[in-house]
Structure 1
Amino acid sequence: MNRKYLKYIAISLIGVVGVVASCKKSFLELQPKGEFLGSNFYANPSQALEGVVAAYDPLVTETGGIDNTYSDPLGALNAGSDDCVAGGGSSSDVNQWQVFNNYTLNPSVGPQDQFWAINFQGVNRADVLLQALPSVPGLSADLLKRYTGEALFLRAHYYFDLERLFKNVPLILTPLTTAQVYTVTQATPAAVYAQIEADLTTAVADLPPTVVAAEDGRVTQGAAKALLGKVYLYEQKWAQSAAILADVNGTTPGGTNSTYGYALLPNYGDIFDPKNKFNSESIFELVHSGTQNYTWSNWDQFKSNIYVQMVGPRSYGGPLYYSGGYGFNPVSTQLATAMKGDPRYPYTIANIDSLTKATNTTYSPSYQNTGYFIQKYAPLLKNVVTTGTIDLNWPNDYIEIRLADTYLMEAEALVNAGSNTARAQALLDAVRARVGLASVPVSLPNIYNERRLELATEGHRWFDLVRWGQAPTVLGFKGFTANKNEILPIPLNETTNGSKIKQNPGY
């Protein structure tokens, strides 16, 4: 971990954040309020709750690393996949996305600094919280159990991202002292995965099945089961993955889960509407607020969704649907071709070339322009919030885990396990039927294709290609090198100046 964040961890600082008002108030609409020394904090239940919120905070951190570079993970992950290209104003605009797009990243240049720093900040905050909670005066047994479950889920979540991105990472389960900072070594992937499983298993038992509207965004038992099922899938523990995902998906694919209330939405496009947050398809949703009056002076505080502005067309002058944007992550021609004729196309891809030509209007092509842009997170005029700087106050949430995703994960696990193909078929059929598509035989190739079309531009594609072993073939045209680019380089600052952390192979 870079020295800035190691020092941060060593003195156990907690960034405390609070709830702000919005049209639909939720627990995780965050606003930084200050920092407190961990040893002097957690004096009462109220401060314990602030510590819980602080542990969630890195999930929606828009800047990270040693230079506070813009770091929304969707931009890098989409650029590295075949869903999108990097785009932007030039070949050096947000360079960490550019080098992931063309696989020229190295230990000093790439998105790895932000991924590493933000996730380890999350690990530290969860570790501090877990250490402090049992001693908080006046904290009830029920709240202790729930807060512990949330902290364990969050630590598992941060470590799952670290493991998928870097593979070889330190396993830190307690706050580090200054002396310990420089003795950190990497754990085996098996040890990290075992800890992730243990944390999530305990979290499942500790967390509530549902939350009230004012707590939307907090982790539930269903979210913990969904993440654990996903972890098992990555470990190729097919039977365990299918079993726990079945709890999330419910008895009848396409119906409503009677325990958690999950159900596929009838209209695919409604999933991504910021006026439809925390809908029945949402299992784990990262909250973004559009009402915090951000300006450029708030660069390291944003909890709005700046990615929305990033992916809009540059200098857009067409029909009044879009506010315009910075031209990042143009959709690839490969994805546009794959989705042609699919009912999900208009909710996934905006053909700005065709739109402006048909209306005799213009936009400025971005670097690597394809004419196709992301629609799921488009900066639509109807979503503009007229507080602060418009570019910096988009309210769109990011649903990291949703029901169609868990349907397809369970179907994949069942097919790999060679069991209950009838249920796997029903799960696949339910995803397709929701958008009016006929049944296709359940098979791994058909499940893989459905994941691509259903989840396009949502940040899953790169991870899917890597875990399926398809990345060298599918991403070879971008420069992907087998046995190297399946993971990112560890940031240069983490492996120098006496550090015991070793660089990943090939870098």
Structure 2
Amino acid sequence: MKKSCVSKYIFVGAFLSFSIVVLTGCDSLLNKYPLDSLSNSTFWQTEGDALLALTGVYQQNKLTGTNAKQSFDLWNQDAYLRLFEATTDNGFEKDNGVTDFNNGDLAASYQPVMDLWTTTYIKITKCNNFLENIDNVEMDVSKLEEMKAEVKTIRAYDYFWLAFLWSDVPLVTKVLTVDEANSVFRDSRENVIKFVIEELQAAIPNLPVTRPDKDYGRITKGAALAILGRVFLAEKRWEDAKNVYKQIMDLGVYNIDARFSDLFIEKGENSKEFLLVSKRMPDIYGNSILLSCLGFTWGGYHHYSPYNELVEDFECIDGLPVKESPLFDPEKPYENRDPRLLKTIFVDNISVFKNILYIAHPDSSPTVYQDQLTRRQWSGYMVRKFCDEDYNGNLNVYGCDFPMIRYAEVLLSYLEANIESGTPITQNLLDETINRVRGREEIKMPPVTEQIRIS
């Protein structure tokens, strides 16, 4: 991944954000400035200080890529896979950590949930600290308002997910003292969502449509609009969602990438399809997605096993489901399928990675990982989507950015909002939304027509 102006401040920004947040509200014994850390009283002076603090806000809460997999941050793809995919009928994860969730036995002590709650509020605290102090910096007013808008958008994004997952949550908009933190109460979901919408609507006018390469990864108008669109969809405000997604489409800066295979690896970084990304740097500030997804043959954990139900969701190349298509052969179930299937999932004795054929359960001998069949590779499938054949480094610090919102989501969400609002579904609407995604150059699935029922 190419370094950007923001990227080079990664470590300093992270340390800065942590130091300032921790020191806020603490009185110095002799009112002396600390010599080994940064202080609010001396830091917020220049535009460079503001940029460092902003970088700290963007930073994932773990300081190195080594522990990225354990950091259940909303800006980390491992969190998405474990909490938002492995808890569904799409697949499972090897440690059986989501069993309690799926059995209805989820408790506050479940570590991934605790981590997600904690890391989200850490980021919110960073945002609050930034917004409390940024006005002390003497800098161009338009740049200052733009930075505020970025931080408000990040905070709104995190509060949306908190309300979506937990319903009533503490709505904290300032840095708390210890006493305040110990007496905080949950606010209603309704008030939290109202706050999120108002914050996003206030931020959007102050955000740029595009950014220069050196600032790639910072929040743009399209990213904030896409987050707002998600909120409106979740709230079933269909007309509002339609209007927001149409605004993104009318910006004219996003497109469906011809490549599907490259979207989730380093080759695909900076794609015109990406609205919101979580930035990474190889070795310095990486992630552990390759370690989680790849199997033992390639040095990974094979942490996630897709279900066959997910495999069956991929249509045949005639655009029909496997249960309806005459092209589907149960003896050769992976032939004549949507090309995205084998680009998303490793299939036993078919998929090849780094010139090695993927074979499920290669070490199922009782003397080697005796629990593999029940915990690791028992479904026979493995996640292919994020696996980069060109990468030869440490699997725990892979440097590919994480695309959090893509233009494909915008188009499909716009179509969903139209359907849910009762808008007549025309061929033109289908062609400007779902058929653009299906017609991606590398995929070329047949278009959906008005005669095909969408539900």
| C-alpha RMSD of the superposition | 2.7
For residue 433 of structure 1, the aligned residue among 409, 426, 439 is: 439
Counterpart CA distance in 1 for 2:383 and 2:430 is 30
For residue 286 of structure 2, the aligned residue among 304, 311, 316 is: 304
Counterpart CA distance in 1 for 2:338 and 2:241 is 29
For residue 345 of structure 2, the aligned residue among 346, 349, 359 is: 349
Find out whether 1:363 has 2:342 as its counterpart: no
For residue 295 of structure 2, the aligned residue among 308, 313, 316 is: 313
Contact 1:163 1:192 in 2 (8 A): yes
- State the one-letter code of the partner of 2:434: L
Counterpart CA distance in 2 for 1:153 and 1:219 is 8
Counterpart CA distance in 2 for 1:328 and 1:353 is 19
Find out whether 1:333 has 2:308 as its counterpart: yes
Counterpart CA distance in 2 for 1:188 and 1:52 is 29
Matches for 1:96-107 after TM superposition, within 5 Å: 97-100=98-101, 102-107=103-108
CA deviations 1:270-310 (Å, max 9, x no partner) are 21231220201001011121132xxxxxxxxxx31212211
Contact 2:61 2:122 in 1 (8 A): no
Deviates more, 1:228-237 or 1:99-108: 99-108
1:419 to 1:28, Cα distance in 2 relative to 1, 3 A: farther
Matches for 1:41-56 after TM superposition, within 5 Å: 41-56=43-58
Following superposition, the deviation at residue 101 of structure 1 comes to: 5.2
1:56 to 1:362, Cα distance in 2 relative to 1, 3 A: same
Deviates more, 1:183-192 or 1:303-312: 303-312
Deviates more, 1:176-185 or 1:233-242: 176-185
Counterpart CA distance in 2 for 1:354 and 1:217 is 36
For residue 391 of structure 2, the aligned residue among 361, 383, 388 is: 383
Find out whether 1:406 has 2:388 as its counterpart: no
Counterpart CA distance in 1 for 2:174 and 2:451 is 44
**Residue 129 of structure 1: aligned partner:** 130
Counterpart CA distance in 1 for 2:219 and 2:415 is 24
1:44 to 1:413, Cα distance in 2 relative to 1, 3 A: same
TM score, norm. by length of structure 2: 0.78
Matches for 1:15-94 after TM superposition, within 5 Å: 23-25=2-4, 27-28=6-7, 30-31=10-11, 32-34=14-16, 35-36=19-20, 37-38=23-24, 39-40=40-41, 41-58=43-60, 62=68, 63-64=70-71, 72-88=79-95, 91=96
- State the one-letter code of the partner of 1:77: F
Matches for 1:282-297 after TM superposition, within 5 Å: 282-292=274-284
**Residue 209 of structure 1: aligned partner:** 209
1:78 to 1:26, Cα distance in 2 relative to 1, 3 A: farther
1:134 to 1:360, Cα distance in 2 relative to 1, 3 A: closer
Query: Between Structure 1 and Structure 2, whose CA radius of gyration is higher?
Result: 2
For residue 267 of structure 1, the aligned residue among 259, 262, 268 is: 259
Find out whether 1:188 has 2:193 as its counterpart: no
- State the one-letter code of the partner of 1:304: G
- State the one-letter code of the partner of 1:191: N
Matches for 1:109-124 after TM superposition, within 5 Å: 109-124=110-125
Counterpart CA distance in 1 for 2:190 and 2:339 is 41
Deviates more, 1:336-345 or 1:212-221: 336-345
1:60 to 1:225, Cα distance in 2 relative to 1, 3 A: farther
Number of aligned residues = 385
Equivalent position SS for 1:154: helix
For residue 272 of structure 2, the aligned residue among 272, 280, 286 is: 280
Find out whether 1:372 has 2:351 as its counterpart: no
Counterpart CA distance in 1 for 2:15 and 2:62 is 16
CA deviations 1:403-436 (Å, max 9, x no partner) are 1111111100011111252354221221112221
Contact 1:412 1:444 in 2 (8 A): no
CA deviations 1:55-113 (Å, max 9, x no partner) are 11237873448xxxx9734323221122211125xx4xxx3x45345554222124210
1:359 to 1:347, Cα distance in 2 relative to 1, 3 A: closer
Equivalent position SS for 2:304: coil
Contact 1:415 1:443 in 2 (8 A): no
Counterpart CA distance in 2 for 1:361 and 1:78 is 21
Counterpart CA distance in 1 for 2:228 and 2:2 is 33
1:203 to 1:235, Cα distance in 2 relative to 1, 3 A: same
1:228 to 1:420, Cα distance in 2 relative to 1, 3 A: farther
Equivalent position SS for 1:144: helix
Contact 1:331 1:349 in 2 (8 A): yes
CA deviations 1:371-427 (Å, max 9, x no partner) are 21111112x341123xxxx13221222111001111111100011111252354221
Equivalent position SS for 2:86: helix
**Residue 155 of structure 1: aligned partner:** 155
Counterpart CA distance in 2 for 1:364 and 1:446 is 44
**Residue 418 of structure 1: aligned partner:** 422
Counterpart CA distance in 1 for 2:144 and 2:435 is 42
Contact 2:233 2:241 in 1 (8 A): yes
